[in-house]
Structure formats: C-alpha cells, structure tokens
Amino acid sequence: MQKIFGSNFISATKLTYIGLGCLSIGLTATLIWFFVVNNLKTHKLTLVAGSKDGESYILSKAIEKVVEAKNSQIQIDVVETKGTEENLEKLEKGEAQLATAQADISAGRSARVVVFLYPDIFQLAVKANSPIQQFTDLKGKRIALWRRGGQYISFLRIAAHYGLQEKDFIFVGNNSLESDLAFRQNQADAFFRVRALGNRNIVDLVQKYNARLLPLDQAAALRIKYPAFEAMDIPKGAYQGSNPPIPEADLPSVAVRRTLLASEKVDDRIVQEITEILDSNRQEVADSIPDEFADVRPLVASITRPTTTGGTGIPIHPGAIAYFDRDRPSFIQENADYLALILTVILLLGSWFWELKSWLERRRKDEADRHIASFIQLMKSVQGKQLAAKVALEELDKVFAQAATDLIDEKISQESFRTLSEAYKATRDVIEYQANLTGKQAIAP
C-alpha cells in the first residue's frame, strides 16, 4: 500500500525553481565580478606627448607620476613623438589612449578633450639686425621650421591669411633640432615656434643668438576662420628683463591651447579620476617636474576646464564632464548602476526563496493528501467488501505511523498533520462501524 500511495516524482515546477536558483547564482556572480574583479583591474594607458624637450612631454611625465601615485589602478606610459600630428594619428588608430595636441589641429572622430593644459603662443623671430619687420617680409626667405607637425600647419595658416603660400618660403631643417641649429649658424632668416612663453630653446635663441621677436597682430581676424586662435601678448621683458628688455614692449601675437585628449573608448570613470587628480593636485604635479625643467612648473597653473567655446571643435569627454559638473554626488548617485543590480539580485533571490518555501509547503500538503487518499481508499475497500476490516485497520495504522514519521522528517507540516489526524479518526470510525454492520468484532487501536 505504501508503494501504491507513496510514489514520488520531480515535477516541472521543481525544475523551474532549480533554474531560477541557478539564474540567481549567475547574477550574484556577475555582481561579484563588477565589484571585485572589475574594480581591481589595472588600466594601462599610453600618453603620446611630443618631443622630450617640449613642455607637453615634461608636463605629461609629471602627470604620469602623480596619477599613478594617487590611483594604483591607473598606469600611464608617456611616449615621445614628433608632435601633434603624430599624436592625433596614434590616438585615432588606438595606439594611444591619451594625447597632447595643439587645439587648432583637426583631430579624428574618437578624440575627446579632457582639459586645457596651457596656452601655446606663436613666436616668430629674426636676427636682431635683420631688415624684416613683419610677416609679409618673409616672402622668399629661409624659415627655420620643420615641414611637419602642428607648428608647420599653423605657420601656413598665418601665411595664407597674409596672402602667401607654401612655395613662397624656403624651409630649413628636417627636425626641430636641425631647424634651431640652422638659425644659430645663420643658415635661416627667421624661426617660427608654437611654444609656451619662456620656452628654454626660444630663450637660448633670443639671448645667445640675437633673435628679435616680430608681432602677429591680426589674431581677431584669424579667429574668424580658425576659432581656436586667440589674441595674446608676449609681455615686455618675457625673454630678457633689461639691457634691453626682450621684447621691448608688449608684443601682440596669436595663441592656441595645448590640450590633453583622450579616446572616446577610455572608460568614463578613468577619465573622471584623471581629471580630478589633475584639478586637485596641481602643486604635486608642479613638484614632480624636475629642477632642470623648473621653467615648465608655472604652466601647471594654466590647467583649466575645457569649454565648448574653445574653438577646438572636439567634444568634451563624458568623464571630464562628470567631474567638472559634479556637485559631489551622493554615494547612491555615483553607484546607481551597481545598486540597481544589487536590488535586482535581492528581489530575485527573495522571489526565489519565497517560491521555494511555497513549493515546500505545497509538497508537504501533497504528502499529507497522499496519506489521506490512502485512508479514503482503505475505507472504500472495506465498504465494498474488498478488504477485511481487520486488515484495513492494520494498514490504516501503518499509513498513520508513516505520516507521523513524515512529520518528524518535516515532510508534512504541523497543520497538515492535524488535518490528517482528523481524517485518520474519521476513517477508523467508519471501518469499525462497517465491521459492526457485518457482525465482525472491531479491533481496538
């Protein structure tokens, strides 16, 4: 009888709950991955920054040192290049994730502005005894300028504004060093550089080789076509304070921003962290610049938030926006995605446990119902005279004993067992009554 009425099976519902549990475990594992594995990941970034003797490279090395000291999960490798054009090319190809660049040079689609580093000023100089007085006098002259990179493009833009073309000049030098040497050895009539004020190479050319700076006084007009251009003066005495001061008066010129760019593929959180470190640790960045390049330290004060009116035409990186537009967001705002995932997992686990509890309760009730069905079957067998009352009562006691064991094993709930006990008493009364009707002696329990 126990085999007849006690057969067990795995229902489709049970399989559903098992699947739900596996899904919960999977989501929990995903959550752990986000918080543990992803947060421990080291982000390696390549920063291309021009020549080693340039301000952007020197400043980039200081940025590398401070960022890595403040956040061990960010590693920056500063790489020497030939200038803005190469930097932008490597950034677009994915060979670099960060780059310094002149703001007036067109960048690729993936470039995003992080910060403005400092202003680069167009600096045009000739020998002190040269008859050249203005830019248009350079026609047909030898210019100490490498025919490559952002400086060269900027020079041609100035020339075009004054109605001159590339063929109107003779460019000397296959790199910056050769160009500088050509001017020193009187093999060039003028030199042109886009550099920060106080650049050591320009100081050397001005003070030791009698260079005289020329004005570039049409910045406002140039800005019409090139929005990245700004009017900026080279202050009196910027390169020599007296005997005589160089320049002898404030000299009008043109400036462009030197920018720090990041690829759009760089994680927003990483760019936000770098931006915050730069903005909050200026003194540390300045102190990280070696004493031999002390003239570069003042440029750190020029690091500013990029603007949509800066003329670069390059979008601002979302990570930089997140930092600059902050009002110190709350923990919930900063971790909304993670918290949403946690809440989802909690709700799913809660639903799973609730369903599991309901399934166990249903299973306990099913077990009690199975025993009650056995009682009913025994009662019908006696009434139909298919089974003797004595045998039926013995079998009834066995089923009830099994039910008691199931109660101990928590296969049946207390409530179901109380219902089952009432059914047992009623069944026993019916069987004994039936036995009396047939003239048989009832067997006491």
Q: How far does Cα 80 stand from its chain's mean position?
A: 25
Residue 406 · residue 355 · CB < 8 Å: no
Query: What size, in residues, is the chain?
Result: 445
Q: Burial-class residue 438 by CB neighbours within 10 Å (0-12, 13-18, 19+).
A: exposed
Give residue for tokens 């995003």: 112
Report the alpha-carbon distance of residue 301 to residue 159 in Å, rounded. 32
Token duo for residue 9? 């099976």
Report the alpha-carbon distance of residue 41 to residue 37 in Å, rounded. 6
Q: Cα-flanking dihedrals φ and ψ of residue 165, to 5°? A: -125, 170
Report the alpha-carbon distance of residue 418 to residue 23 in Å, rounded. 37
Token duo for residue 5? 């009425």
Q: Cα-flanking dihedrals φ and ψ of residue 72, to 5°? A: -70, -10
Query: What is 344-378 written as a DSSP string?
Result: HHHHHHHHHHHHHHHHHHHHHHHHHHHHHHHHHHH
Indicate the fold that domain 41-326 takes in CATH.
Answer: D-Maltodextrin-Binding Protein; domain 2 (3.40.190)
Query: Dihedral (C-alpha) 59, 63, 69, 70: value to the nearest 10 degrees?
Result: 140
Alpha carbon distance, N-terminus to C-terminus of the chain: 19
Report the alpha-carbon distance of residue 436 to residue 316 in Å, rounded. 97
List own/partner pairs for 175-182 with CB under 8 A and 24 or more apart: 175/82, 175/146, 176/51, 176/146, 176/201, 178/146, 179/144, 179/145, 179/146, 180/144, 180/205, 182/142, 182/144
Q: What is the pLDDT of residue 2?
A: 38
Which residue type occupies 388?
A: A
Q: Is the peptide bond before 290 cis (omega within 30 degrees of 0)?
A: no
Query: What does the angle CA 257 – CA 78 – CA 45 come to, to the nearest 5 degrees?
Result: 95
The domain locations on the chain are 2-25+338-437, 41-326
Q: What is the pLDDT of residue 16?
A: 62
Residue 402 · residue 6 · CB < 8 Å: yes
Q: Is the peptide bond before 318 cis (omega within 30 degrees of 0)?
A: no
| Strands, E assignment, 229-288 | 230-234, 251-263
Q: What is the pLDDT of residue 406?
A: 79
pLDDT tens, the chain, 445 aa long: 433 333 343 445 555 656 666 776 777 666 666 555 555 678 999 999 999 989 999 999 999 999 999 999 999 999 999 899 999 999 999 999 999 999 988 899 999 999 999 999 999 999 999 999 999 999 999 999 999 888 999 999 999 999 999 999 999 999 888 999 999 999 999 999 999 998 988 999 999 988 999 999 999 999 999 999 999 999 999 998 888 899 999 999 999 999 999 999 999 999 999 999 999 999 999 999 999 999 999 999 999 999 876 677 899 999 999 999 876 555 666 677 777 778 787 877 777 677 666 666 666 677 777 878 887 887 788 777 777 777 878 888 888 888 788 778 777 777 778 887 888 888 888 888 777 776 644 444 4
Q: Comparing C-alpha atoms, which of 8, 61, 97, 1 is closest to residue 391?
A: 1
Report the alpha-carbon distance of residue 126 to residue 138 in Å, rounded. 10
Helix, strand counts (H, E) of the chain: 15, 10
Q: Cα-flanking dihedrals φ and ψ of residue 275, to 5°? A: -60, -45
